[in-house]
Every structure is written in structure tokens, then in C-alpha cells.
Chains A and B, each alone.
Chain A
Amino acid sequence: MNMNDQRICLWLAPAFGVLLLLAFYIFPGFIPPSSPTMSADEVAAFYRNHVGQIRASMLIFNICGIMFIPFFMVIVVQMQRMANPSRAFAYSYLSAAASGATLFALADLAWLIAAFRPERDPQLLMLLNDLAWMAFITPVGFIIAQNFCLALGIYMDDQTKPVFPRWVGHFNLLTALLMTPGAFALMFMKGPLAWDGILAFWVRVGTYGLYIAVMFFVVRSALDRQARDQAQPQGATA
């Protein structure tokens, strides 16, 4: 089978990942992250003073944020090649990826809505800001579930040439663990578990970025192996 479609989906990840990184850099509230302890007036000032940057960065998030889905779906296709008893883990992965993307979309919409009318009442701006941050940082369960399914699928991939090497399973579980602090931002206003904290922000977001980067190379190798396996019995195909 021609693997062009999988390769295209794979490369969409770095192509749009670069744009997402750029947007992350441009958004004035990530480096350093805004604090949950900001007063309503401070939040209003944030939106009024940085309207252009907020809109530009969040528009990039809006347009590009769903572009990791094709990449995740390549992982689903690869999971279906695993010698698992059934495809349950692959389909669960699909479902979790879709749910995670929905939350990301909601987060950037909330930031954009706040930036649309920065003269809005500061209390309302703060509500929108809270919504955006909570939706962005906290629903880590979907990524955890994705990684869990992939890791277990890898451990149960009982064949001489597994689709992914075993360490990828460990890596997935480790990154899932490192993402867990994000959920606690729902209850903390200060400290490492607040949405601007070391654990809930830097570790959580940094881990995700690193995860995508590493998995890109992992999936690329898997695709190369699949291409070689397909070529062997019949000779070179298109």
C-alpha cells in the first residue's frame, strides 16, 4: 500500500507545530505565564494593552490547533498493526484525541472572545480568561488516556517485529505522569500547581511539546519499517 497519506499526515505535525510554537511565543501570557492571582483590573489591562498580540497568536492557535489530529490518526493506524487481541486501544486513542482537541479549541476561543471586546467589564474578562486557562491547562485526562492506550498497546504488541519499540511505551506512561499536575490547577491559585506554576504549566506544557517532537521521530521510523516490510515480499511498489 502506498504510504504517502500517512507520511503527509505525519509531516503536518512539524509543519503546524512550528506555527503553534511561534504562536506560543507571541502570546503575551505564556512567557511568563499570567497569574491566577491577577485582579480583574489587571486582567482587563492585559487584554487592553496586548490586543494585537493576543489576537494574532490565538488566531494561529485557532487555525492550526487541530492539525495534530492527522498525526494522532497515523498513530491509530499503526496501533491497528499491533498484535493486540483487538482494536479497542486504537479506537479509544482516536476518541480521546478528538475530545482533547475539542478542549483546546474551546480554550483558544475563550482567549479570542476576551480579546474581541477588551473594553468589556473586567469581571467578565476575568471569567473568560479563567475559562481559557482552565480549558487549556487542566483537562489532561484525555492525553493521559491516549498515552495509556498506546503504552498498553505497545506492551501487548506480541510479535517478532513490534510496531513500536518497548521504550516508547515507557515514554508514553512517563509523559502521562508528567501531565497530571495540570489537573490540579483547577483548585490552586498559587504555587507549583497553579496554572502558572512550575508543574502545572512549565512541566505540563513542556512535556507535551517534547512528546510531539519525540513521537514524530518514533512514528517516522515506524512508517519506514512498514514501508520496508511491505516492499520485501513483492518487490518495490510505487
Chain B
Amino acid sequence: MNDTTAATLLQAPQLAVAGATTDRAERHLPGDADIWVFVIGDMLIFSVYFAAYIFFDRGQDHELFVASQRHLSQSLGVINTLILLTSSLFVALSVHATRAGDFGIASRFLSLGGGFGVGFLLLKSYEWYSKLSSGLTISTNAFFMHYYMLTGVHVFHVLIGLVFLLVLRSELHGTARPRVKLLEIGATYWHMVDFIWFLIFALLYLMR
């Protein structure tokens, strides 16, 4: 992180406290410093999970991992990626609509975004179920240990994200002047969840 970004992050709390103006020229950072601490920290934590996958376990038994990967359906992975991308798009559109003052439309976009999030969870559950029915459990081998743990922790993040989206929706409906900053915070988190899925998809499904 360079100096200007750091300076920007330091300014963000003051902006938040001043009662965030929606003037684009004044806003440096979407959301607030707190959510960025969360996002950056969370990504650091995930990078440790990924490092463990790549260097500790996969490095030790490469053939096993490649062979096990064949059991994963790349198509399901791609569909899940598209689902999350679409949901992120809707959440981003919701933020735009909120900035423009179209709270009803913003809320509908949020519902769509959340709906696709639920779709992701359903498809993931189906994927787990089909693996479990084939006898591929968490203790089958090191690859599947990582598979269930990485996708499991990600699912937890999606669940938290859905709770955040519900909070955003109640903000849009509950007050006369919904705070854009709150929507930016939720959107930032949701985009992070999407991004982490990309990395998981690339590591587990694609990287041979």
C-alpha cells in the first residue's frame, strides 16, 4: 500500500464522522476504513489458507491432487462463478441506484443480488452432496480436505454476506434517507466474497 492510499484510508473515518457527503469529488474511499481493514485482513487470512494448499500439501503429492481434481466438475465451478459475478453486478447496481436516490430500485437490485447469492449456496450444496454420495468426504485425501475447508469457509462468508445484504435492505426501507456509505460497505464486502471465490475456483478447479 503506498502513501497516498494510506493517507486516504486515514482520512476516511473523518469523512464518515462528518456525515458522509455524496459529493463524488470529496469521497476518496468507498465504504469506510473499518470494512477495508476487514477485507484486507480477510484476504491475508485466505492467502494463508491458499499457501497451505499450494506449498504444504499440494507440493508434497502433486499427482494425488491432480487426480482428485478430476472429480470436480469444472462446469459447476464456472456456473457458480457466473452466479456470483451476476450477484456482484446487481449489488453494484444497487449502490448506484442508492446514490441516484432510487431507493426502490436499489432494494430490488439488492434482492436480486441476494437471490443469486442463495443460488450459489444451493448449487454448492448440490455439489457437496454429489461428492459425498460418491464417497468423497473430508477425510478421503488431502485434496478433499482442502476442498471442503476452503469452500466451507467461503460458504460461511457468503452467509454473513447475505445477512449484511438483509441489513442493507432494511436500511433502504427503514429510513427516509438511507446512508449510501452503508451500502458501499456491504457492497465492498460482497465483492470481496466474489473475489475470493475466483481464487478458490482457480486453485481448486483450474490449476493443475
Asked if A and B form a direct contact in the complex, defined as CB atoms under 8 angstroms apart, the reply is yes
Residues of A within 8 A of B (CB): 52, 238
> How far, in angstroms, from A52 to B137 measured CA to CA in the complex?
9
Chain B: number of interface residues, binned into ranges: under 10
Give B contacts to A, CB under 8 Å.
Answer: 137, 139, 174
3 A-B contact pairs sorted by A residue (CB < 8 Å): A52-B137, A52-B139, A238-B174
SS of B interface (majority): loop
Rounded to whole Å, the gap between the CB of A228 and the closest CB of chain B is 18
Closest to B132 in A: A52
Give the CA-CA distance A238 to B174 in the complex, in Å: 9
Minimal Cβ-Cβ distance residue in A for B137: A52
A-chain residues with CB within 8 Å of residue B137 when the two chains form the complex: 52
- Alpha-carbon distance between A18 and B174 when the two chains are bound, in angstroms: 29
CB-nearest residue of chain B to A51: B139
CA distance A52 to B139 in the complex (A): 9
**Within the assembled complex, what's the spacing in Å between the Cα atoms of A238 and B137?**
48
Q: How far is the CB of A54 from chain B (nearest CB, A)?
A: 13
* Cβ contacts under 8 Å, B174 to chain A: 238
Give chain B nearest CB distance to A12 CB in angstroms.
12
For the complex formed, measure the closest distance between the CB of A8 and the CB atoms of chain B, giving whole angstroms: 10
CA distance A52 to B133 in the complex (A): 13
A235 to chain B, nearest CB (A): 16
What's the least CB distance linking B144 to chain A, in Å? 13
Instruction: Tell me which residues across on chain B come within 8 A of A52, comparing CB atoms.
Output: 137, 139
The 3 closest A-B pairs by CB, nearest first: A52-B137, A238-B174, A52-B139
Output the least CB separation between A215 and chain B (Å). 24
User: Which residues on A sit within 8 Å (CB–CB) of B139?
Assistant: 52
Interchain CA distance A113-B24 in the complex, whole Å: 57
Contacts of A238 in B (CB 8 A): 174
Residue of B with least CB distance to A52 = B137
Shortest CB-to-CB span from B12 to chain A, Å, is 26
How far, in angstroms, from A238 to B175 measured CA to CA in the complex?
9
- Select from chain A the residue with minimum beta-carbon distance to B174: A238
